[in-house]
Chains A and B, each alone.
Chain A
């Protein structure tokens, strides 16, 4: 029975959102050719848009898409006729076409492939975002502050590397699993971070949380995976409080705790507790613990800065990144005064890391060094595209989102 064009388009869009990553993972995994899988899928989506209005939306849309994409890839491989592509053909042809319900979800495997050390480090997170989340090169470029052309090139090269060098499509064995899990966790954290600036619901943040959830589900004896999910949920619980009714930026210390999400907080706290049970501390668990101290303001009415400062000392020992160093400096400023915070910033190169300049401006202002504060504040403003944040910073009061 023919479907309305609109109904067909919605079905395609739904399948794309729900199944893109799973389809790329399955097809790419068997052919080792992610770019080829993406192209074949694009063809399949186009074919769906053309035929479903005429023939009706299939009972199992994902199976339909998989079958069409798979046949495209087999045909393309046969036409190419080189030795290795013949291997790909055999791989594809040998496996019986899976039932839609049964076609395995290999997105986690795809994440681990994207984190392979043979891939350019600057390409790993973008690859995950594109292949598992279906983001476009342009969207990813905006998040990473490079041009779409540069990001497109980076992604093409990375996928070419995977194919030509023959990177294996599997979840790595024990010793490498630990190394690569770290890379995957960092990439998910980065993905969430790039969705953080948005006011209101962010698809990217939502996807990052979904990835963290999947990872935590599959690596159920890895406390850092639980820690990352807890961290993201603590941050997410505050999303509604980050802007006031007029859309203005509200820093963490000034947020209305009643707007923080109960259920999300409860889940985050539960996860952190479970992670602690493993007694294997790691950076994401500590970051989550810091967030849980912030969240405790909801019950206690105040922020336990000494506890946060202590946690940052531990975190800095494990992961001395610029972000952690800035967070530590902010906490020190609260406990020991702005001069101590400024001293902690002294050895750091702020470059284009916006929170560094935000904190610096705030501390200088508190020390009465108005001219220097203004210079730092302008730098902070210039480094964010978020109009609400820019407006807030222009107001002369710095934001500390520690």
Chain B
């Protein structure tokens, strides 16, 4: 089954500049996912301040600066992994460096 691993961190940590080097724990984690054959995709995201919101209502396009919600915790990155079941996905999420200081959402893909 395919699962999104959504990494939420407090906005300070999610706001690291896009070109900041990736730290060793994250490199190791990504490599472990690849070596285990579960990695389908993934990326760190640029900071929430770089986000733009788009809506279309009544035929009118509305574009706004900023992320979806101005919350303390922000989406900082994601992985897409393939595991036999939820428990395996949860094990991988628990190993993610983001789990130590932030929160990880594990969501199956639909269908």
A binding-site residues for B, Cβ under 8 Å: 32, 82-84, 118, 164-168, 170, 172
Contacts and interface: CB of A to CB of B under 8 A. Distances in A.
Interface of B: 1, 84-90, 108, 111
Nearest to A176: B87
Interface centre among B1, B86, B88, B111 (most CB of A within 10 A): B86
Interface centre among A118, A164, A166, A168 (most CB of B within 10 A): A166
Nearest to B1: A166
Contacts of A165: 86, 108
Contacts of B90: 118
B86 A118 contact: yes
Nearest to A168: B85
A164 B108 contact: yes
Contacts of A168: 84-88
Given A32-B85, A118-B86, 11 more contacts: A164-B108, A165-B108, A166-B1, A166-B89, A166-B108, A167-B86, A168-B84, A168-B85, A168-B87, A170-B87, A172-B87
Contacts of A170: 87
A167 B87 CA distance: 6
Contacts of B84: 166, 168
A157 to B, nearest CB: 15
A330 to B, nearest CB: 42
A84 to B, nearest CB: 7
A327 B89 CA distance: 42
A223 to B, nearest CB: 27
Nearest to A164: B108
A358 B85 CA distance: 48
A164 B85 CA distance: 10
B111 A166 contact: no
B82 to A, nearest CB: 11
A158 to B, nearest CB: 14
A118 B84 CA distance: 16
Contacts of A167: 85-87
B5 to A, nearest CB: 13
Interface centre among A32, A118, A165, A167 (most CB of B within 10 A): A165
A167 B1 CA distance: 11
A50 to B, nearest CB: 36
Contacts of A32: 85
Contact of B86 (A82, A84, A166, A172): A166
A82 B89 CA distance: 21
10 contacts: A84-B111, A118-B86, A165-B108, A166-B1, A166-B85, A166-B86, A166-B108, A167-B86, A167-B87, A168-B86
A191 B88 CA distance: 30
B23 to A, nearest CB: 27
A83 B111 contact: yes
Nearest to B88: A168
B111 A82 contact: yes
B85 to A, nearest CB: 4
Contacts of B88: 168
A109 to B, nearest CB: 13
A297 B111 CA distance: 61
Q: 3 tightest A-B contacts by CB?
A: A168-B85, A168-B87, A166-B1
Contacts of B108: 164-166
B19 to A, nearest CB: 36
B89 to A, nearest CB: 8
A164 B90 CA distance: 15
A150 B111 CA distance: 26
Contacts of A166: 1, 84-86, 89, 108
A27 to B, nearest CB: 17
A167 B86 CA distance: 5
A389 B82 CA distance: 56
B39 to A, nearest CB: 18
Nearest to A32: B85
A170 B87 CA distance: 10
Nearest to B87: A168
Contact of B1 (A84, A118, A172): A84
